[in-house]
Amino acid sequence: MNERFLRSLEDPATLGQFVRELREGIYITNARGRVLDANPALLEILGYPTLEALQAVSVADLWARPFERPRQVELLEREGTVREFEVEIVRPDGGRRTVLDTCHRVVDPETGEALFHGILVDITARKELERQLVETSRRDALTGLLNRRFLAEFAGRFESGSATWGVILVDIDGFKQVNDRLGHGAGDALLCAVARFLGEQVRREDHVVRFGGDEFLVLLVGRSAGATAEVAARVRRAEGLAVRLSAGWARREGEETLERTVGRADAALLAVRAAERGARQEDPSGLSA
């Protein structure tokens, strides 16, 4: 037996066994994007049962976003190597994996053909954990609604463009009295009930945010002024809730910031509260419309 077996990476048998046992995917492809060889870990990551099955497809067919592939090829041609290039791949069963691709360009001295030697590291679990941590940081622990951090992210993404939105600010009438009379457990249950109610009033692409305390913000993406007013009216009716809700709304004007729209909705809410207080003083029986 070769005296260097298992002791030197220069020994072909040792290197071959090492590659076969790695949990990271090792591959060799040509410039046309065909896989010439791969270790078992790469087949598992990509979801192909055999090397022959993988060789029947092009590397570009594996990418969830094929339009990103030319950028990697350009880097390889210019730099000769690419390190930890993040790629989302699609498996034959429709599942997706996120991998880091590190590869370098070599030239076959006999044929002059360009080849690419690379290694794929599957970071799908890590990316999912990161997504969960980010999502948790954007959610209110009690109601599960989005929080102010989400609003900051939304503003950062869309304020510079021509996006339109409507904003409804909502608060719960008499919430403090509920807490004082029935306890904080009842108050928490009421907040969760209102959160569910507001979620039922909007579309999937809209957003409900716990703004703070007993205040909520409804962000209606791309809605007209009429549609925003209609949702605000439904919120004020609060059908099915045991409490009354006050609501004020505004729609984005021009290229104003989200904060500015929220400020105008807040002013509208203050006006609604003042009008409601005035109505109650004029009709202490509570029988006014």
- State the DSSP string of 85-111: EEEEEE-TTS-EEEEEEEEEEEE-TTT
The CA-atom distances, in angstroms, between 165 and each of 127, 199, 212 are 30, 17, 21
Distance (Å, whole) CA 155 – CA 56: 45
List all residues 6 or more positions away from 37 whose beta carbon is below 8 Å from its beta carbon.
27, 28, 51
Neighbours of 213 (CB within 10 A): 11
Closest CA to 152 of 207, 200, 192, 196: 207
Burial annotation 62-71 (CB, 10 A radius, 16+ → b, else e): bbeeeeebee
Q: Catalytic: which of 61, 93, 214, 266?
A: 214
Query: 119 near 25, Cβ under 8 Å?
Result: yes
The CA-atom distances, in angstroms, between 225 and each of 3, 34, 142, 197 are 81, 54, 31, 21
Closest CA to 243 of 146, 142, 171, 180: 171
Question: How do beta strands 215-221 and 165-172 pair?
Answer: antiparallel
Determine whether 122 is an active site residue. Answer: no
Distance (Å, whole) CA 288 – CA 214: 25
Q: Which residues are catalytic?
A: 214
